[in-house]
Structure 1
């Protein structure tokens, strides 16, 4: 640990501010307080017991008191630690939601203001581009709200799937055609590797579509310009495997274990200034596993990532 890290670790007041809690709700401060209380209690117990008991009894009393105080103190600190973590998550969540809603709302407002300023002599040539932007912003807000509703349904055990038979090839082609113009603005090229014969699966088509869309969207966001994004579909027996490989930022090794966590975003993607709640991969993993498939990834920071999932084949 270097000097800066040691200084930061010892700065209890700063760490409590980072958690957005008062000193008396801060686990780091409470740890120091409990340490002082335990030390003082042990000392007093020793002094008092020394006058009224044999040495062996004194040792036993001190041991019992120490264990009791340690257990109680640890329980108290753990409880406050949960409060602090919840408070921090709440603050971060509100900040993220505010940012994500403000962007599309601001975009809608700007387009309406622009049309209002030019309200006389407006033609369809003025309306169409503005309405496209308004519609896109509206869809972003709806998508954001749907993600939050899905998370709420998952936590309340009310999340439901509607399985049906469909072709993964056709669904992938449909989604790629939507994202090709977006990828083109960054000179990104899609390479699709899939058999010509249909790969029939049994799953919730709308939910699987949302998973594929998230994976493709992430690949575009975090890829460098003039690169390739490879999508492949493969029959692996009882399941169909879908995967996407980009040449983007990759994921830091120390953060790999958190990649499917709720509201998590890798630290090295902040420079891309991308939008998002950090719930896409969390929802995708839940959907695929609820479908009876698996989801995973391989990544090397600075060299891109491969995300993949499997869904059950149709038995019909």
Structure 2
């Protein structure tokens, strides 16, 4: 059911998004208005289906979590930024009223973002026009508390006992007007509790509501062994060495790269960096130029002199970027430059570019998918940078993998004559350097996701995610020991 719901919905929302974005040229004003209405309602349908499927997975005990230590505030700030546009639509301002800069928690970052999105969107929906939603983060020795408060009508006393139940709505007519499924708070409670926390609320009818959740703090010093085990679980993702002596900057860089799907090691000096590079094969290095012992430029020179790291991709992250460029004077290739303060998208783009091969001007992609409409949408999403071929059955895909060379295989798991998983061993055997991207209607377990290079959920895929998945091909000349 997940596959059958999400596949056509992906075609609909993807096609509408492309048309609304001007991919087919300018539209008349009335047509643009109709497309915008259709796109908005396809997004509503996507949220409903995702909520229903999440609720079903919770009931079946099949909701999977990737628990990792995370700095809390960057996640809070990202959630605020992601919901500002929705607030602006309803003329509601989001305000961070209190912060806990050093708070770290062990959570699934995507699930925590889902919790925050649910609470923020609820607060925005029920705020008066011109109102504010205040987000506050407090931390004690053992826990962090995140509060989301609005100044709307509040929660009726008769509804408070049922507020976290499935399909509960305080006022059916009002909720229909505001939009919503009655599942958001039920899912939110389950997610918070599965991450070891608790959730509650306070409300005075007519004077707004305050929802809050508490999470136990993560103390790295007491849990080094657990962190080591966690890193081992992620084996297979490219490992990046971050060389940065400022702890706050190192933490932010580490979080950005971890969220981008990389394993990360952090060192604070040039000597530590050189030692780490001798002991561990890295896919790339993020390097500050101003280090407490030797300069970053000297690190670059020594790295380039060693045969095993001569071609290692380096991204220089420095406040003195231009001085570094002048000092190095173009002597070494494979170096990108990023000025502080750091832009997350720019950082990930540079890392991806450094890790991607440029040997093929038009990399070949085999899309294994039995829905022709979805194939057309996917091709339109990625533009003309890739040569796409289509296989609609497992048998056809097997024949093409046996006879042709592909840089990437985009694989649906539900095919008319079998499972896409059955093709994976043949890809690995015949074309070991080919990357496999799962584009599926169903969520993966962590073990399943580690078998391939990328997993994208059909109902949530965007052109940016598709391009990232296709572009991120580790160099064929990468140091020995690094596995795609």
What is the Cα deviation at residue 274 of structure 1? Answer: 1.6
What is the Cα deviation at residue 181 of structure 1? Answer: 2.7
The 1:196/1:281 distance shift into structure 2, 3 A limit, reads: closer
Query: Where does residue 255 of structure 1 map in the other structure?
Result: 159
Correspondence for 2:26 among 123, 126, 129 = 123
Map 1:167-206; keep pairs closer than 5 Å: 167-195=71-99, 197-206=101-110
Query: Where does residue 305 of structure 2 map in the other structure?
Result: none
Query: 3-state DSSP class of the match of 1:247?
Result: coil
Q: CA RMSD in A?
A: 3.6
Structure 1, unmatched stretches of 5+, are: 1-100, 116-120
TM-score by length of 1: 0.57
- Are 1:150 and 2:54 matched, yes or no? yes
Contact 1:294 1:311 in 2 (8 A): yes
The 1:182/1:151 distance shift into structure 2, 3 A limit, reads: closer
- Are 1:213 and 2:117 matched, yes or no? yes
Correspondence for 1:265 among 169, 177, 192 = 169
Contact 2:100 2:138 in 1 (8 A): no
Correspondence for 1:237 among 134, 137, 141 = 141
Query: Where does residue 130 of structure 2 map in the other structure?
Result: 226
Contact 2:99 2:136 in 1 (8 A): no
Query: 3-state DSSP class of the match of 1:273?
Result: helix
TM-score by length of 2: 0.38
Contact 1:169 1:194 in 2 (8 A): no
Larger fraction in helix: 1
What is the Cα deviation at residue 312 of structure 1? Answer: 2.1
Query: 3-state DSSP class of the match of 2:178?
Result: coil
Distance 1:128 1:198 in 2: 46
The 1:133/1:315 distance shift into structure 2, 3 A limit, reads: farther
Contact 1:294 1:310 in 2 (8 A): yes
What is the Cα deviation at residue 291 of structure 1? Answer: 1.0
The 1:255/1:195 distance shift into structure 2, 3 A limit, reads: closer
Distance 2:100 2:189 in 1: 27
Distance 1:301 1:269 in 2: 18
Query: 3-state DSSP class of the match of 2:115?
Result: helix
The 1:170/1:135 distance shift into structure 2, 3 A limit, reads: farther
The 1:156/1:181 distance shift into structure 2, 3 A limit, reads: closer
Distance 1:159 1:132 in 2: 33
Query: Where does residue 314 of structure 1 map in the other structure?
Result: 218
What's the CA shift string for 1:1-47, capped at 9, x where partnerless?
Answer: xxxxxxxxxxxxxxxxxxxxxxxxxxxxxxxxxxxxxxxxxxxxxxx
Query: Where does residue 299 of structure 1 map in the other structure?
Result: 203
What's the CA shift string for 1:91-127, capped at 9, x where partnerless?
Answer: xxxxxxxxxx9xx99x97xx79x99xxxxx9438989
Contact 2:72 2:104 in 1 (8 A): yes
Contact 1:241 1:310 in 2 (8 A): yes
Query: 3-state DSSP class of the match of 2:96?
Result: strand
What's the CA shift string for 1:236-276, capped at 9, x where partnerless?
Answer: 22221100110002111111000001000112871770211
The 1:277/1:196 distance shift into structure 2, 3 A limit, reads: closer
What's the CA shift string for 1:195-222, capped at 9, x where partnerless?
Answer: 3624211011111100100100001101
The 1:277/1:187 distance shift into structure 2, 3 A limit, reads: closer
Structure 2, unmatched stretches of 5+, are: 1-5, 221-484
Query: Where does residue 19 of structure 1 map in the other structure?
Result: none
Query: Where does residue 283 of structure 1 map in the other structure?
Result: 187
What is the Cα deviation at residue 139 of structure 1? Answer: 4.0
Distance 2:69 2:34 in 1: 38
Query: Where does residue 141 of structure 1 map in the other structure?
Result: 45
Query: Where does residue 65 of structure 1 map in the other structure?
Result: none
Query: Where does residue 7 of structure 1 map in the other structure?
Result: none
